[in-house]
Structure 1
Amino acid sequence: MSITPMSVSLGEVKLPAPISEAELLELNDKLKKKGFELIGDEKSVLLEKAKTLIIEVIHHKDEFDLKTNWSDFLSEKLGVDYAYLSHLFSTVVGITLEQYIIRQKVEKVKEHLFYDELSVKEIAYKLGYSSVAHLSSQFKKVTGLTPTAFKATHDIQKRNPLDQI
């Protein structure tokens, strides 16, 4: 479309201003055909940034820093009060931030189990769980299966796309 972005990063593209309403509609239409969407208002942008940070830490870092808790991490990175972010998230998304983080962790556990490269104990450590029992409890609440039962099925169909969690 001959629009050169100012910057591109995971989950975010900044476009030069001003863009005409017609260009914006055309861009939105083309993005939708590719499975993307424009996010314009500040609250939606904040929520998408929160989701992107969570996904980045859980799915793209080798180990979660066990000294950092999620509320402090998200507040610092996003520059907003965690209570505000948490309330906004649950109001708009329909689940709590904590539930979203747990679901993302469970998807990462599924990935590790599917590829069978780490023990459940190693997975628990990598994802910042206090114990294998804690990981197993959360995993079963979300999936209905224990990690061992899931591992035995090796069913890729039981994994969820990250953007649909």
Structure 2
Amino acid sequence: MASTLRIWAILLIFALLTGACVAPLTPAAPAAAPADTQEAAPTATAAPEEAAGDADTAMANPASVNCVDKGGTLQIETRPDGGQYGVCLFEDNMQCEEWALMRGECPDGGVKVTGYATDAARFCAITGGEYTVTDESGDQEQGTCTLPGGTVCDVYAYYEGTCSAQ
């Protein structure tokens, strides 16, 4: 009888120890974060499996969302310096650079871009600037762009990113 009791005690201890090593069948719900804290932004060195989940948490560009909300279609274009910008396209060849539209420097529905002889002149207009022709001779029309804050740039310098509103 004592040996039977000893065997049952050993089996019970073995079962308890084995059961403690098994993971629960259902995962615990994550604890809710306090309302006044924010999650840390993912780092640039995230592991590949972590990077796949980042697409679900990415925020949309608010200027792009604004363009679509105002009835436009977004098109990404590239300046000569390699910088990219979004153009919000509307009906009847009306356009705005997406951030100029968001800031109110380009009117809802865009500006008419028909008639601008160069991409630089069109860029000036869709970013809220006022284009003025200074020389029509030669291969390319020359001009200036007066920006909403009053800064005046050579239109090509502005388009190429070497003259800014600041």
- Both proteins in one fold, TM over 0.5: no
More strand, by proportion: 2
TM range (shorter): under 0.3
Structure with bigger helix share is 1
Q: Which structure is larger by alpha-carbon Rg, 1 or 2?
A: 2
